[in-house]
Amino acid sequence: MSGLPPCPKCGSEYTYEDGGQYVCPECAHEWGKDAAPEAVEESRVVKDANGAVLNDGDTVTVIKDLKVKGSSLVVKVGTKVKNIRLVDGDHDIDCKIDGIGAMQLKSEFVKKA
């Protein structure tokens, strides 16, 4: 066919050249001609307050009293949170805390247990 590489993001074969880069018309992803496929796909690393890398399913401990927005509840220091899930956004941890329920936490207020 055209000899152009497929889009590394969506796999579309309809890429085209635009100056010094390739463009995908389906997902609008742009990448340089010299970009390695590994460099295009970047993974986000979430770290706790001590710099330890967090993963889905980890257990963490809260290091600061946290007020729960919209209620009078407080998540106390030392509260263990099991089976966390990492998400994108300002609050990068989704979890369930016993007695409080589903919450989102910032990784800067927890440490890996």
What does the pLDDT look like over 94-108, one tens digit per residue? 999 999 999 999 999
Q: Is there a contact between 54 and 60 (Cβ–Cβ < 8 Å)?
A: yes
85-86 sheet: strands from edge to edge: 85-86, 93-97, 101-105
Asked if residue 46 has pLDDT above 60, the reply is: yes
User: How does the average pLDDT of the chain come out, rounded?
Assistant: 88
Q: Indicate if the pLDDT at residue 19 is higher than 50.
A: yes
pLDDT at 96: 95
User: What band does 42 get if pLDDT is binned at 50, 70 and 90?
Assistant: low
Identify the pLDDT of residue 35. 64
pTM confidence score? 0.62
User: What is the model's pLDDT at position 85?
Assistant: 95
Token pair of 73, please?
A: 């509840």
